[in-house]
């Protein structure tokens, strides 16, 4: 009897083991295959339910977790997919239904998507050990090291990527970007050009290449690169601002203005750095063209968003008289002929001198004048002096004073005056202190304007 019971127990145990073995080795794989087919057929919800059911029966079934993760990916539920893939990673069992290389690439990309850079990097380092011949693994490791500000490691991995696959355009781009940040322009330019030769639809590469060309003063090439960078809507405003900057550097102000106006029109955030710079450069263009009303309008818009942006507050203060002082406004904005008549009035009335000659130049004019009162001092030789008027926004530096001194020597003059609507640098003031050159800043110019009838002279001519 005892032998019979033992036999029954052994037989039952054997049947149990056999059933478990059949379930694990035949039925479960068939169910996994069935879930896989459901995903391929687009029956994602059915696949999700089937995978969950299987996990409820066997929580440590890596195949079921993997299939559920793939189903979530197909259903655009990346966060849930990552949770399932993490479970697979913890179980650590790979096989025919879970190709380890494919799995690690998928989970690495999910880590990247959710900005889990450290985890993604670990996966790509593992992939490099498994597939040392795959350039793409080195590319991703280099890119992620760059995001961690490990430029030394990033450089090594990216160089290895382009060594393994010279046609890997993304690796060339990332390497070019890294070299650009490392202030190695020649190497950066070569890598970016290689990237664009392999993949010509990379607006980011065109943008960085344009920056390098602009820094090298190759403005024509930079303009073309920034034009191509505009294809990316995220780069459009930046690229237009850079194009405006190129034209400004080329002194083509009339071409710069439309580019900057387009940048402002395309901007969606009035407080962004790109929009503020677009308005700032546009104001600079208007200021150079002496369209001060329009320049002030741009500075005011910048000031409302960011009062401490560059020298905007200083500019508004500098031109505050412009709104209340018509004489200063006319001095700054009138046409060249009218401007010269205003300067002649300032010399004859404000300085009590007789005008002998007037010569115009960009942003100003020169007047040669002598002392008046000819009847009283008939027998005294009248010494001419050179009076140089400026109406440009920049401070007058010592180099401008030196140039004036050279002009005085050529004209055989011993005294001169510089009058400006802005001011003078400290070096200009120190240089002029020991020389026969008087400096009239904005306040002194305003005093001259106040005691001069500029309209009788200017508008009557």
Tell whether 445 is covered by a domain. Answer: yes
The residue-averaged pLDDT of 419-443 equals 93
Q: What is the CA radius of gyration of the chain?
A: 38
21 pLDDT higher than 50 = no
Nearest to 125 by CA among 165, 88, 160: 160
Looking up residue 405, the CATH number of its domain turns out to be 3.40.1350.10
- Residue 4 pLDDT: 53
Beta sheet of 353-361, edge-to-edge order: 353-361, 364-371, 385-390, 415-420, 437-440
Range of the domain at 288: 227-318
Instruction: Give the model confidence (pLDDT) of 262-275 as tens digits.
Output: 999 999 999 999 99
- Residue 300 pLDDT: 95
CA 364, CA 407: separation in Å to the nearest integer? 15
Tell whether 32 is covered by a domain. Answer: no
Q: Are 181 and 155 in contact (CB under 8 A)?
A: no
Tell whether 287 is covered by a domain. Answer: yes
The residue-averaged pLDDT of 331-339 equals 90
Instruction: Give the model confidence (pLDDT) of 302-328 as tens digits.
Output: 999 999 999 999 899 888 877 778 898
User: What are phi and psi for residue 422, nearest 5 degrees?
Assistant: -110, -100
- Residue 16 pLDDT: 44
CA 36, CA 97: separation in Å to the nearest integer? 9
Q: Which residues contact 190 (CB under 8 A, 6 or more apart)?
A: 176
CA 382, CA 374: separation in Å to the nearest integer? 9
- Residue 319 pLDDT: 83
Q: Which one of 254, 288, 318 terminates a domain?
A: 318
Q: Are 457 and 427 in contact (CB under 8 A)?
A: no
Pairing relationship of beta strands 385-390 and 364-371 according to DSSP bridges: antiparallel
- Residue 132 pLDDT: 95
13 pLDDT higher than 90 = no
Instruction: Give the model confidence (pLDDT) of 210-231 as tens digits.
Output: 999 999 999 999 999 999 999 9
Same domain, 336 and 446: yes
Same domain, 265 and 235: yes
Q: What is the mean pLDDT of the chain?
A: 89
Same domain, 334 and 314: no
Same domain, 282 and 366: no
- Residue 19 pLDDT: 43
Tell whether 209 is covered by a domain. Answer: no
**% of the chain exceeding 90 in pLDDT:** 70
Tell whether 233 is covered by a domain. Answer: yes
235 pLDDT higher than 80 = yes
Same domain, 454 and 368: yes
- Residue 402 pLDDT: 95
Same domain, 313 and 334: no
Nearest to 138 by CA among 112, 156, 150: 156
Residue appearing with tokens 């127990």: 9
CA 300, CA 255: separation in Å to the nearest integer? 23
Same domain, 308 and 354: no
Tell whether 75 is covered by a domain. Answer: no
**386 Rama class: left (phi>0) / alpha (psi -120 to 50) / beta:** beta
- Count the domains in the chain: 2
Tell whether 112 is covered by a domain. Answer: no
Tell whether 412 is covered by a domain. Answer: yes
Looking up residue 294, the CATH number of its domain turns out to be 1.25.40.10
Same domain, 295 and 410: no
The b/e string for 113-143 (b: 16+ C-beta within 10 A; e otherwise) is eeebeebbbebbeebbeeeeebbbbbbbbbb
């Amino acid at each position: 009897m005892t032998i019979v019971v033992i036999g029954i127990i052994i037989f039952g145990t054997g049947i149990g083991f056999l059933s478990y073995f059949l379930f694990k080795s035949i039925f479960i794989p068939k169910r996994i295959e069935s879930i896989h087919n459901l995903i391929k057929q687009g029956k994602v919800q059915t696949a999700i339910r089937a995978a969950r059911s299987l996990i409820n029966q066997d929580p440590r079934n890596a195949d079921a977790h993997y299939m559920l993760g793939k189903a979530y990916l197909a259903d655009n539920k990346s966060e849930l997919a990552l949770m399932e893939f993490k479970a697979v990673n913890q179980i650590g069992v790979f096989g025919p239904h879970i190709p380890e290389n494919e799995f690690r690439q998928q989970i690495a990309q999910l880590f990247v998507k959710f900005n889990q850079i450290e985890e993604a990097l670990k996966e790509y380092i593992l992939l490099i050990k498994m597939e040392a011949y795959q350039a793409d693994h080195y590319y991703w490791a280099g890119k992620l090291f760059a995001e961690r500000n490990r430029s030394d490691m990033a450089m090594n991995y990216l160089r290895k990527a382009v060594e393994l696959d010279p046609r890997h355009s993304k690796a060339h781009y990332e390497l070019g970007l890294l070299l650009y940040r490392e202030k190695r322009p020649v190497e950066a330019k070569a890598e970016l050009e290689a990237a664009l030769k392999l993949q010509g639809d990379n607006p980011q590469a065109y943008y960085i290449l344009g920056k390098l060309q602009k820094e090298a003063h190759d403005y024509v090439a930079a303009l073309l690169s920034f034009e191509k960078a505009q294809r990316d809507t995220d780069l459009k405003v930046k690229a237009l601002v850079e194009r405006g900057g190129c034209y400004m550097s080329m002194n083509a102000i009339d071409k710069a203005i439309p580019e900057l106006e387009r940048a402002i029109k395309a901007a969606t955030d009035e407080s962004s750095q790109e929009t503020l710079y677009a308005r700032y450069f546009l104001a600079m263009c208007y200021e150079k063209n002496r369209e001060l009303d329009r320049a002030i309008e741009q500075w005011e818009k910048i000031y409302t968003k960011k009062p401490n942006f560059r020298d905007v507050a200083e500019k508004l203060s500098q031109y505050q008289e412009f709104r209340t002082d018509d004489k200063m406004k006319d001095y700054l904005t009138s046409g060249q002929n009218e401007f010269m008549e205003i300067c002649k009035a300032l010399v004859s009335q404000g300085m009590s001198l007789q005008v002998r000659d007037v010569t115009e130049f960009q942003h100003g004019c020169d007047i040669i004048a002598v002392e008046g009162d000819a009847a009283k001092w008939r027998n005294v030789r009248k010494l001419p002096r050179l009076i140089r008027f400026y109406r440009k926004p920049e401070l007058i530096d010592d180099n401008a004073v030196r140039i004036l001194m050279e002009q005085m020597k050529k004209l055989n003059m011993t005294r001169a005056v510089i009058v400006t609507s802005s001011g003078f640098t400290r070096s200009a003031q120190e240089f002029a202190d020991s020389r026969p050159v008087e400096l009239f800043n904005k306040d002194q110019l305003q005093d001259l304007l106040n005691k001069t009838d500029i309209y009788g002279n200017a508008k009557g001519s």
